[in-house]
Structure 1
Amino acid sequence: MPRSPFRHRWTTVHGVPTHDLHTAGPGGLPVVLVHGLAVSHRYLMPTARALATRHPVVVPDLPGFGRSGKPRFAYDVSRHAEHLAGWLDVLGLPRVCLAGHSFGAEVVARLAVLRPDLAAGIVLAAPTADPAARSRRALIGRWALDLFVEQPWQAPVLARDVADAKPWRVLATVGHSVRNAIERDLRRLPVPPLVLGGALDPVAPLRWRAEVAAMTGGVAVTVPHAAHNVMTTSGRRSADAIAAYLRTVAPVRAAAAVSP
């Protein structure tokens, strides 16, 4: 089996050990993949591996999730965005493509508004939370529907991630998600985003993704046969869409290597 190009790293930011997997790739604009609210870097690796042949890729675990440190309370959208900004500053990555999935798209949108200097490109994959389902009950109900259209082989990965985070943190983060009006950030994004999603996604449905693209001036790409976890089950197609989007972004030379 070929050796993985990805390496583990822990960086202490605001007192929290922050884990990431990273690879230097062939050069070009680094892509930072940000996970959703019940998961970790693990489920994003199909897209990360497919993208790493074309760009440097960094996949962090947000505080409280995966292998990162576990604060005593669940961070809200702003706290996660501020943490990622500090993390990118410590790593010396001043210009990146910020690519967030689900709740991670909320974090990426807030980060791009707080620190537009960091955002050379923005990818919003299956962004939450659709205003038509902006309550805990409605959002959890949509996730329940998504279970019927997802690939069952994902279950062990997702179960491990929820166990790492603890159910109380997941539920608290759901509350932070539904209280966050993402459209306020979407209207202030510094660059038009790629809005990516699966054709079968009931959590961030096509109608909502089209609204996001319209209000941001972005481009929407729909992956056939994929559901909410499009970056897990359709890693190659997701990576192709991100790489194509980045070819439309003004080229920027990475100011620092991704490797430590």
Structure 2
Amino acid sequence: MPTAAGRFGPAELRLALAAPRPAAGLTSEWRLVDGLRTHTRRSADPGTGAPPVVLVHGLAVSHRYLTPLAVALADTHPVYVPDLPGFGLTERPGSAYDVPRHADHLAAWLAAYRMPPVCVLGHSFGAEVAAALAARHPEVVRAVVLAGPTSDPVARSRRGQIGRWLVDTLREAPLQAPILLRDVWDARPWRVSATLTHSVRNAIEADLVRIAAPTVVVTGSRDPVVPAGWRSQAVRLVPHARDVVVPGAAHNVATTAPAQVADAVRLLLTPTSDEQVTPHAHR
């Protein structure tokens, strides 16, 4: 059962740390993509005919913290959670990829799986990668979910982002900490630091205005990394976007509010989604 918004319990922790072992219907596999052995955590196809959903993790983490959301979506959609180059169980290249290179690797990964156009959901730095994918490779993207997208121009510096993340740690469920420690160990601290530099040098606005696919911006109401002003600006920049605010959740909304985020994804992908507004959505 998914936890309430803002919560993350022992069952979710065990699930997050299970890979590569099968757990809760999720399995691991590796494919060679652009010369890198790339790990993907995936669900079975539920046979509904619904489009695949691809979940893209943030800069210091991996597939692990997105597994509650993958499970929440798996009864209606095939779900794929790749580890970006250098993170999680994917092979580590010698340098840290910037946003465009991650987006191009993700496009090559989609080609390796021969997927139809997907709904791509990126969280935090992963939202930057998702936006770049939609801007650079629009033919592979059916819909976009930007969950807690970084970075707010007001705090677009290493100091600004680290300061906001430190505030966020006080608002997150404590049991997420073991996942972060494992993910930073796998990626190596230098890669996390270099990726943060790439993030603050990436003007996501240039990609947001080029997104042609239907888009939803999802944030937690207690997210200090993505305050209301930046969320509203991001929504205005995307030609076809709306936003959803999850009460009680902080920055890791995709982890601690998987049921609410899954509902936002399903609503986005329904034929009449442009005509519907959930109780927590704002146009």
* TM-score computed with the length of structure 1 as normaliser: 0.93
CA RMSD in angstroms, aligned pairs only: 1.5
User: Structure 1: which amino acid aligns with 2:47?
Assistant: P
Cα 1:246–1:46, aligned 2, differ >3 Å: closer, same or farther?
same
- CA shift, 1:158, in A, is 1.1
Question: What residue number does 2:4 align with?
Answer: none
Question: What residue number does 2:160 align with?
Answer: 138
Structure 1 spans left out of the alignment, 5+ residues? 251-260
8 Å contact kept, 1:32–1:58: yes
Matched, 1:79 2:105: no
Question: What residue number does 2:82 align with?
Answer: 60
2 CA distance for matches of 1:177 and 1:249? 34
- For residues 30-85 of structure 1, what are the alpha-carbon distances to aligned partners after superposition, in whole Å with 9 as ceiling and x for unaligned? 00000000000000011110011111100000000000000011000011000010
Cα 1:91–1:175, aligned 2, differ >3 Å: closer, same or farther?
same
Match runs of 1:38-49 below 5 Å = 38-49=60-71
Matched, 1:31 2:53: yes
Question: What residue number does 2:35 align with?
Answer: 15
- For residues 114-150 of structure 1, what are the alpha-carbon distances to aligned partners after superposition, in whole Å with 9 as ceiling and x for unaligned? 1100110000000001101100110111101101111
1 CA distance for matches of 2:95 and 2:272? 37
Question: What residue number does 2:244 align with?
Answer: 221
Cα 1:53–1:131, aligned 2, differ >3 Å: closer, same or farther?
same
User: Structure 2: which amino acid aligns with 1:204?
Assistant: V
- CA shift, 1:7, in A, is 1.5
8 Å contact kept, 1:25–1:53: yes
Structure 2 spans left out of the alignment, 5+ residues? 1-10, 12-21, 274-283
1 CA distance for matches of 2:272 and 2:67? 23
* TM-score computed with the length of structure 2 as normaliser: 0.86
Q: Relative contact order (C-alpha < 8 Å, sep 6+): which is higher?
A: 1
Residue identity over aligned pairs, in percent, reads 53
Question: What residue number does 2:230 align with?
Answer: 208
2 CA distance for matches of 1:129 and 1:245? 23
- For residues 221-246 of structure 1, what are the alpha-carbon distances to aligned partners after superposition, in whole Å with 9 as ceiling and x for unaligned? 00010000001111111111111111
1 CA distance for matches of 2:46 and 2:139? 23
1 CA distance for matches of 2:259 and 2:129? 24
Question: What residue number does 2:279 align with?
Answer: none
Match runs of 1:121-160 below 5 Å = 121-160=143-182
Matched, 1:233 2:233: no
**Structure 1 residue ranges, 4+ long, deviating more than 6 angstroms after superposition:** none
Match runs of 1:168-207 below 5 Å = 168-207=190-229
8 Å contact kept, 2:142–2:214: no
Cα 1:205–1:248, aligned 2, differ >3 Å: closer, same or farther?
farther
Secondary structure of the structure 2 residue equivalent to 1:123: strand
2 CA distance for matches of 1:192 and 1:57? 19
8 Å contact kept, 2:221–2:247: yes
**What is the count of residue pairs matched by the alignment?**
250
Cα 1:53–1:181, aligned 2, differ >3 Å: closer, same or farther?
same
Matched, 1:244 2:245: no
